[in-house]
Amino acid sequence: MTITFPHMGQVYIPVKALFDDLGVPVVVPPPVSNKTLEIGTRIAPEMACLPMKINLGNYIQSMEKGADTIVLTGSCGPCRFGYYGIVEQEILRDQGYHAEIIILDAPGRDPRDLLRKIRKISGNSPWKNIIRAFIQASKIVEQTDKLQGIFLRKRPRELNKGQTDDLQSRFEKQILQCRGSKEVMRLIRSFQVKADGIPERADANPLRIGLVGEIYTLIEPYVNLNIEYKLGYLGAEVHRGITIADWVKTHLSMDRKYKKQRKEKLKKGANYLNLCIGGHAWETIASTVDYADAGMDGVIQILPFGCMPEIVAESIIPSISRNRSLPVMTLTVDELTGEAGYLTRLEAFVDLLSQKKGTVYE
């Protein structure tokens, strides 16, 4: 059994460490590229969500490198994500790929099914090893997010242009050489120290922009056309409305403190939306209100074309923007999104925020 999984930003770091710790061979899908999207677009239904098309491309690229088992998380929520796994399986079979697909659904009525699947993908390791590996992976998720947070803070403040990007790309190359959670954790911590040490301009006073929207689009730089880099270089400090650590803590952990904080944050948006309508639309609304409370200069909502929950959120956001005098821009991405037009919209938005704040961006 050689496992692979969908690519989503830096999720591959904890997932690879998890399987390394369990001694299960794993193929990390190649970074998402035009080729990945081309494969997915060719075999997926035209109106399928963009993340699904990319995931199909990921699986085929990984199978070409020897993977024979695909692990993905499932859902029974109100949006199309609920039937992703099954549809992907059918599409791959139609295309002549016969990898085994293991869908990890939330425990629901029969937690034994989930436990059986976890045991299977762990190569039948003893439970104590499985639990240890999962705990280590969740620590890696948290520390990876922390490192990303440092990069996001440093980029608009760095004294020597490009230093943050250099460090980030060195990290991304070296992390792939690490084996197991201990090595991974050591490398992350060493890069946290290096990133913290990046010298800052004394006069730096960046705009603060919150990113909200569909989780895959927020986290995967290929899909969002590297929005964090672009905004960073336009002089904005980016805050992510949802991170991988949030997803893990919401769905897989018993962290009561986090769950209480999340509940309180969701309550903030209750006047606008007070229930889960699929995807992360509820979080999108609550985070937008939360960013208004935090005095952010602006918010950008980003969603894949046709994403049903985010389209509902998009229709609610103008009310928040009006009531809270918060500039908000929505960006919809699909396989045809052009980089030049996208960058122009970001520049115009940053320009507007700079004028509102009375600062000038270079």
Measured from the Cβ of residue 333, the count of other Cβ atoms closer than 10 Å reads 20
- Beta carbon of residue 87, minimum distance to ligand SF4 (angstroms, whole number): 11
- Beta carbon of residue 281, minimum distance to ligand SF4 (angstroms, whole number): 8
DSSP-assigned letters across all residues of 51-79? HHHHHHHHHHHHHHTT--EEEEE---SSS
Nearest residue relative to ligand SF4 (C-beta)? 279
Residues found near ligand SF4 in the complex (CB under 6 A): 49, 51, 79-81, 214, 278-279, 304, 307-310
Give residue for tokens 């309508």: 277
Please say which residue, 232 or 278, places its beta carbon nearer to ligand SF4.
278
Measured from the Cβ of residue 153, the count of other Cβ atoms closer than 10 Å reads 20
- Beta carbon of residue 227, minimum distance to ligand SF4 (angstroms, whole number): 17
Please say which residue, 138 or 243, places its beta carbon nearer to ligand SF4.
243
- Beta carbon of residue 304, minimum distance to ligand SF4 (angstroms, whole number): 5
Angstrom distance (rounded) from CA 210 to CA 287: 8
Please say which residue, 18 or 223, places its beta carbon nearer to ligand SF4.
223
Please say which residue, 20 or 214, places its beta carbon nearer to ligand SF4.
214
Q: CA 101 from chain center: how many Å?
A: 22
- Beta carbon of residue 186, minimum distance to ligand SF4 (angstroms, whole number): 35
Please say which residue, 83 or 272, places its beta carbon nearer to ligand SF4.
83
Angstrom distance (rounded) from CA 10 to CA 144: 8
Give residue for tokens 């389209």: 311
Please say which residue, 85 or 298, places its beta carbon nearer to ligand SF4.
85
- Beta carbon of residue 43, minimum distance to ligand SF4 (angstroms, whole number): 17
- CA-nearest of 246, 250, 290 to 269 is 290
Angstrom distance (rounded) from CA 85 to CA 128: 29
**Token pair in block for residue 250:** 């919401």
